[in-house]
Amino acid sequence: MANDGSPVAGATTEQPKPSAAKESNFYQKQYVSSFVEKWDELIDWDSRSKTEGQFFIDLLKEQGKETVLDVATGTGFHTVRLVEAGFDVTSCDGNAEMLAKAFENGKARGHILKTVQADWRWLNKDIQGKFDAIICLGNSFTHLFREVDRHRALAEFYAALKHDGILILDQRNYDQMLDDRDYSSSHKFYYCGEQVSAAPDLLEDNLARFKYDFPDGSSYHLNMFPLRRQYVADLLKTHGFQTITTYSDFQETHKTEDPDFFIHVAKKEYVADD
């Protein structure tokens, strides 16, 4: 999910004023067909699989989860990995181009994905049933610019989970970006394509615009709201998630300084106070 304005993707596309690109639907205009086709070049599934390892698979198995809703499917990387690990996965995304590419990627690997296009803010209108786990990965939650949209989306996630379900949500380390203002990411964990650069070309308190440069000379942009780690943890608690564990680059938070990403694991299960 993201913002509002004119197309921002492509090397020769004129950029809108930043103020015109801070709405929670703008991502629809940024994920154009040509960018979606290049997305796997940015991700590099093989390299990402090696760096990520079994983190999400092991986490879900340790929690005894079987049914998973991938609400930020993208081109299908996590959906396919979880399907191949034996999970029952429903693939959801707000962007039709991404879902079509995910279905294509799944079919190429011998899987027919269960795909649903849905807006997070009205998720339960389009998604049927309750799930053991919801995953919202790839820095996708930061596409939401409005406070009310973040609250609405989390309320929908919470409602779509079983009574003991878990939400796994990740985000970039915007704390480091905002505090240092001289940010450069090795993107060694999430964006593993060696020939693609991904770095912010505009950073404000309420906007992080990333530029993606590809070997063929094309460039694309994505706009995100720079959410701080503690803000997200507090937001999860506000929506009823009592137990929240935060990891950094697939390790316990305190073991890694200045990570690229934070991963929040929030449990819905009710824990009575002593």
- In this structure, are residues 168 and 56 in contact, taking their beta carbons and an 8 Å threshold? yes
Q: What is the 3-state secondary structure (H, E, C) of 159-208?
A: HHEEEEEEEEEEEECHHHHHHHCCCCCCCCCCCCCCCCEEEEEEEECCEE
Euclidean distance between CA atoms 160 and 122, whole angstroms:
11
What pLDDT shows up at residue 160?
98
Consecutive 10-residue runs of the chain (274 residues): their mean pLDDT?
Answer: 34 46 53 70 79 91 97 96 98 93 96 97 96 96 94 98 97 89 52 68 88 85 92 97 90 61 94 71
Bridge partners, residue 93, by sequence: 117
Residue 145 burial (C-beta neighbours within 10 Å; 0-12, 13-18, 19+): buried
What pLDDT shows up at residue 246?
94
Looking at this protein, which amino acid is placed at residue 241? F
Q: Which residue has the tokens 């029952």?
A: 88
Euclidean distance between CA atoms 37 and 32, whole angstroms:
9
- In this structure, are residues 131 and 67 in contact, taking their beta carbons and an 8 Å threshold? yes
State residue 264 phi and psi, 5-degree precision: -100, 130
What residues are annotated to the active site?
31, 138, 143, 172, 191
Neighbouring residues of 90: CB distance < 8 A, sequence distance ≥ 6: 67, 68, 69, 70, 114, 115, 116, 127, 131
Q: How many CB atoms lie within 10 A of CB 220?
A: 24
What pLDDT shows up at residue 146?
93
Q: How many CB atoms lie within 10 A of CB 154?
A: 24
Euclidean distance between CA atoms 146 and 150, whole angstroms:
7
- DSSP helix, strand, coil percent of the chain (3-state; round to 5): 35, 25, 40
Q: Which of 38, 106, 270 is nearest to 115 (CA)?
A: 106
Looking at this protein, which amino acid is placed at residue 244? I
What pLDDT shows up at residue 114?
98
Euclidean distance between CA atoms 175 and 162, whole angstroms:
32
